[in-house]
Amino acid sequence: MEKLTGPKKIKTAVFISGTGSNLKNIIKFSKIKKSPISISLIISNTSQAKGLRFADQFKIKKKIFNFKNFKDTEMNILLLLKKEKIRFICLAGFMKILSKEFIEKFDGKIINIHPSLLPKYKGLNTHNRAIKNKDKLTGCTVHYVTATLDSGKIILQKKIKITVNDNSNTLAKKVLAQEHKLYPAAIMKIFN
């Protein structure tokens, strides 16, 4: 008797540069039955990325690229994505900006999570900027990646209050906790 399997999951790559807390969260999410994705590849621009340990822990293929020659590196990443049949990319604390050519050549979807309520505070130091401007709210945004930094179509956002006691560290922790909920929710929204 033929074994019934659920719908085929979308082969996904996660790009990281740091601790990989969003990566770990996305991997755990990918393991649940209703998740539309499976993580097949982890790419980093640095061998120092602590998040690479999750590749070993969850037995996922990993590859480190140094971006000394940006164009060649992007070409090599695209070849690897094609070879691995990757259809979807999640950027999770990836500290390199992908070129317009890369984004156009990759034949799937690329999404990113950003620690602010876009279009406010694109780029870095989002928490410091929100506090300095005495904002009452901040949060995080999952958006499609385009050639313009942090400017793609917004998929989902989550707002959180900034309290008088918050500093950039406490705010970063509160926002990260929300990122861990928002990223899987955004992926579900895309594929459902």
Kindly name the residue from 114, 127, 143, 180 that is annotated as catalytic: 114
CA pair distance 46, 150, nearest whole angstrom:
22
What is the total residue count of the chain? 192
Beta bridge partners of 121: none
114 is catalytic: yes
- E strand map for 9-84: 10-16, 37-44, 61-64
Rg (alpha carbons) of the chain, rounded to whole number: 17
Secondary structure of residue 139 in the 3-state scheme: strand
Catalytic positions, please? 114
